[in-house]
Chains A and B, each alone.
Chain A
Amino acid sequence: MALDQQTEMTQSEIDDVLSRHETGVLSLARSDDPYAIPISYGYDSEHRRFYMRLVSTPESEKREFLSSSPDCRLVVYEETEPVYQSVVAIGTLEQISTDELTADHIEQYGKAKRPLFEIWAEGKEELDVQLFKLDPESMSGRRIEIES
C-alpha cells in the first residue's frame, strides 16, 4: 500500500463530510491529563458550528473535564476505499444554559442523535445532560487517496 496523494480539503468539502456524519471523537485536556470520548453532534453548515449533548453522572470523569469552558478538538473521519478523509475542528466548548435556548438552538439539537441512556447503568435521574456549542477557531480537512 502506498500513499497516492494527500490534499487539503476545501471548506465546502469539509462541510459535506461533517453534514453526512453525526458522530466524532471529542478530545479534552486538563493539565497533563488527556480525555477523549465518542460523541454525537449536529452541524450547522451555514454558521459552521457544532451542537452536542454531553451526558455525565455526578462522579464522572467527564464532568470534571467539562467543569469550565474547555479547549477541545473534535475529529471526524471516514474511510471509503481508496479515499480516507478526516476533519479536525479546534475551539472552546461553550455550555448553553436552558435559560438562553432559542427556537434555532432547538432545531440544531434536533440534528444531533439522542443520548443513549440505555447504555448507562445508572438511572436517568442521576444523569446530567449538558448542552454545548462548539464554534471552532479553526477547521481543517485532509483527503488521502491510497494507491492499491
Chain B
Amino acid sequence: MSGTETYQFSCPECGQSLTVDDSMRFALVDNGCVVCGAPLRGTEFAACS
C-alpha cells in the first residue's frame, strides 16, 4: 500500500464528483474542473476516511 491520500472532489459549478489522489488534486487546482473547466480554489476536496 502506497499510503497515498484520497479525496472526494465535488465541482461547485457542474456538480461532477470524483475520487482523486494527491497528483489529481493538484492538477485540478491548477487546471480547473476537468469536466466543465470551472476554476477551483482548492477547497472543493474532502479527505476520504
**Interface residues, chain A, with chain B CB atoms under 8 Å away:** 53, 98, 101-107, 109-110, 112-115, 117, 124-125, 129, 131
Contacts and interface: CB of A to CB of B under 8 A. Distances in A.
B24 A115 contact: no
B31 A107 contact: yes
A51 to B, nearest CB: 10
Contacts of B13: 124
Interface residues on B, range: 10 to 19
Contact of B31 (A53, A109, A124, A129): A109
A104 B18 CA distance: 15
Given A53-B37, A103-B21, 10 more contacts: A53-B36, A98-B35, A101-B24, A106-B24, A106-B27, A109-B37, A110-B34, A110-B37, A112-B37, A131-B35
